[in-house]
Structure 1
Amino acid sequence: MHRQPDAPNTPNTPNTPNTPDPAPDQALGDLTDSPSEHTPVERAVKDCVQELLRTGVLEATRKPNLYRTALTARDTINGLLEALDLCMQIDEVRGLAFIRVVDGYDGGDRDQWSHPLLRRQRLNLEQSLLVAILRRFYVAHEVDKGVGDDAAVVHLDQLLPELNHFLGETGSDRQDDKRLRLLLEQLRGHGLVSEIDDDERLRIRPLIVHVANPANLQNLLAALARQAGADRGQDP
């Protein structure tokens, strides 16, 4: 019985011209395998992509290092996101980097709303209404203070009458307040507002200017205002 020769010791075998090139998918693996082998630049890009996929947005004021990486490694990051039908958009005036679905995703038989990112971020009617109200406050702030000033703060007492105007009052101040707080907490999960502070104020985050078509939001407000007026007209 003949013993087969031992296989060559792969780690000590020199590369040859016939060594195949890495597969395209290996580019993604390079940022996920063997973390100890990452260069500082690769590590920064990985952290940036992970944060974008986790939260959908980077703000220069909150994550300055990651935002800086988004600016300097824009092409690399978009190359990694391309396989997911996503891309990164940057609003340098407001200091934002955020994820969106690539143009043309809804071509052919695919519905853009079927993309997992949009399914996860789709808003219901009440949430969309509050987005429209908050966006109006934010735009007024930028008109007053200038585009790029992200210190748009609003008090709950300013939002409650606006929301009640369109949705109607529940008959209980406590329930009205609870409804507003619940909606705000839901929008906080979308990165649109901050937590409510001890003075019952919150910051409207600049992502809100990109979250929906402003014309659609204004049409929503107009339609709900007409409906609210019609409902009040039917009251005895």
Structure 2
Amino acid sequence: MPPDIFDQWADAAAPASPEASDAPIADTTPTPDPAPATPALLRRALQDLLKNGLLEQSAKPHLFRQIAADTARINTLLEPLDLQVKVDDHRGLAFVAVAAGYQPEGDDEDEWTHPLVRRQRLTLEQSLLIAILRREFLQREQEGGLGVPVQLAVESLLPQLEIYLGSTGSDMQERKRLLNLLDHLRAHGVVSDVDAQERITIRPMIVHLANPENLQALLQRLREIGNAADEGTA
């Protein structure tokens, strides 16, 4: 008896069995979605921040806004490195800091605050100039408000240094000493280059560079040394 026409149609529509086909069986196991990539602008902002250690809104407003808006996400990315970003919205400043829970290991504690952050070793003269510049910066902020650029004439710093360091007897040597100190501090992101009008801009990072109590103690100690020297020559 010939096969029923309806059976023939059913056989033609049925899928081929695995035994009858050499084609590989497709893997139907669901694959997890890939983790979302870090947005390009956020990646660029974080790279710039790690490269320079700080980022100012006045110089790179788009990158600063990205960091300010995604601070929590950036800190998550930095957490394995024991680093964090701190944002000073009032002064338009973001900078990298060592995480509070970081614990140095072994002898590294003497030379490193963190494997990726070199401890800033400043001489007495450099620390003194930072203290003077910080005082000037905060005083100008009180007078003009937060976020206002603070500029100083280089010459105005010479008498202040002389109070604590004494006079060398040579205006040229004293100016050279001051310019060398400013050039060193520029590398720490607290002052700009000397411009054509012989002025510098004090950058807002100076507020966060050093502990104010330590700076005040430094100034007090220098005053004591100066007073003792005056009494000895009297």
Q: With structure 2 as the length reference, what TM-score do the two structures score?
A: 0.79
Going from structure 1 to structure 2, the CA distance change for 1:106 and 1:162 (only over 3 Å counts) comes to: farther
Q: Shift of residue 17 of structure 1?
A: 4.6
Q: 1:163 to 1:74 in 2, by over 3 A?
A: same
Question: Mean alpha-carbon deviation: is it higher for 93-102 or for 105-114?
Answer: 105-114
| Counterpart in the other structure of 2:160 | 162
Matched residue of 2:134: which SS?
A: helix
- Look up the SS of the partner of 1:175 in the other structure: helix
* CA 46–170 in structure 1, closer or farther in 2 if over 3 Å, else same: same
Write the distance in 2 (CA, Å) between the matches of 1:116 and 1:170: 40
Other-structure match for 1:129: 128
Does the 8 Å CA contact 2:104/2:113 hold for their aligned counterparts?
Answer: no
Bigger CA radius of gyration: 2
* Residue-pair matches, total: 207
Q: Distance in 2 between matches of 1:141 and 1:157?
A: 17
Q: Displacement, 1:100?
A: 0.7
For normalisation by structure 1, the TM-score amounts to 0.78
Quick one: structure 1 residues 167 and 117, their matched pair in 2 at CA, closer, same or farther if it must change by over 3 Å? farther
What amino acid does structure 1 have at the position aligned with 2:169? G
Residues 113 and 119 of structure 2 are in contact (CA less than 8 Å); yes or no, is this contact kept in structure 1?
no
Q: Distance in 2 between matches of 1:14 and 1:168?
A: 82
How far off its partner does 1:122 sit?
3.1
Q: Which residue of 2 aligns with 1:188?
A: 186
Amino acid at match of 1:114: T
Q: Which amino acid aligns with 2:184?
A: Q
- In the other structure, the counterpart of 1:34 is none
> Partner of 1:230 in structure 2?
228
Tell me, yes or no, if structure 1 residue 210 matches structure 2 residue 197. no
Q: In the alignment, which residue of structure 2 is the partner of 1:8? A: none
Q: Secondary structure at the match of 1:140?
A: helix
- 1:14 positional shift: 6.9
Alpha-carbon RMSD = 2.7
Deviations, residues 99-157 of structure 1 (Å, cap 9, x unaligned): 111112247867495324553433222211111000000011011011232x1111112
CA distance in 1, matches of 2:232, 2:143: 39
The alpha carbon displacement at 1:174 in A equals: 0.9
Selected match of 1:50 from 47, 50, 61: 47
Segments of 5+ residues of structure 1 without an aligned counterpart are: 1-12, 31-37
Structure 2: unaligned runs, 5 residues or longer = 1-25
Larger relative CO (CA 8 A, sep 6+): 1 or 2? Answer: 1
1:104 to 96, 101, 105: 101
